[in-house]
Structure 1
Amino acid sequence: MAIRSPASLLLFAFLMLALTGRLQAGRSSCIGVYWGQNTDEGSLADACATGNYEYVNIATLFKFGMGQTPEINLAGHCDPRNNGCARLSSEIQSCQE
């Protein structure tokens, strides 16, 4: 099925949100953000503590598949090559709460 017009695309997106239960009574949308690609964005805990986001995605997995060891790039927040991102575990837990 090809979606050809902006109105059709909007209707399709709305239906997908409704079918997945993302639209709640009195709430028209959820805001998500990618965290981890800007050193000036503050900590992960800070991003979650704002209360502005329903979802905070930790970005960016740039190396994966074909037998490679997955590698994430967090723009200077931490260095996964020396286990330096382990300190984010408490911030992740805080965000999940």
Structure 2
Amino acid sequence: MTTLLVLGAVFIFATTTFLASPASDDLVNQTGQLTVFWGQHKDEGSLREACDTGVYTMVIMSFLDVYGSGQYNLNISGHPITGMGDDIKHCQSKGVLFLSKFLFLLLP
């Protein structure tokens, strides 16, 4: 279990450091790629809306605030879970990569 926690922390650190660092227009124009962590601010709009902006090439959602003993709680700050699977499929159909270690909580 400790190994999983360490690996999870390393993954989140690496992702936030290298993929989701603040992007200037120059950086986006150079790489053509922009990653966003979605799901931690209720006013950010739906996942579908984020993908429809055309700004992001990757969306990451991994805010698990309770875990262990077979119990998991995905904290997405008041965003409704209903329809989340459809939103993920919509993003994928637009070519936006969706990453979540906890996808099993969202899809039937």
Could you state the TM-score of these two structures normalised by the residue count of structure 1?
0.58
Aligned with 1:88 (options 74, 84, 87) = 84
Q: Does 1:46 align with 2:26?
A: no
CA distance in 1, matches of 2:86, 2:34: 23
Q: Does 1:62 align with 2:65?
A: yes
Q: Deviations over 1:8-42 (max 9, x none)?
A: xxxxx7xxxxxxxxxxxx96252110111111101
Identity of aligned residues (%): 35
Aligned pairs, how many? 66
CA distance in 2, matches of 1:51, 1:96: 12
User: What is the CA distance between 1:96 and its match in structure 2?
Assistant: 0.9
CA distance in 2, matches of 1:50, 1:59: 21
Q: Where in structure 1 are there 5+ consecutive unaligned residues?
A: 1-12, 14-25, 79-84
Q: Which residue in 1 is equivalent to 2:77?
A: 75
Contact 1:63 1:71 in 2 (8 A): yes
Give the aligned CA root-mean-square deviation in angstroms: 2.1
The structure with the larger Rg is 1
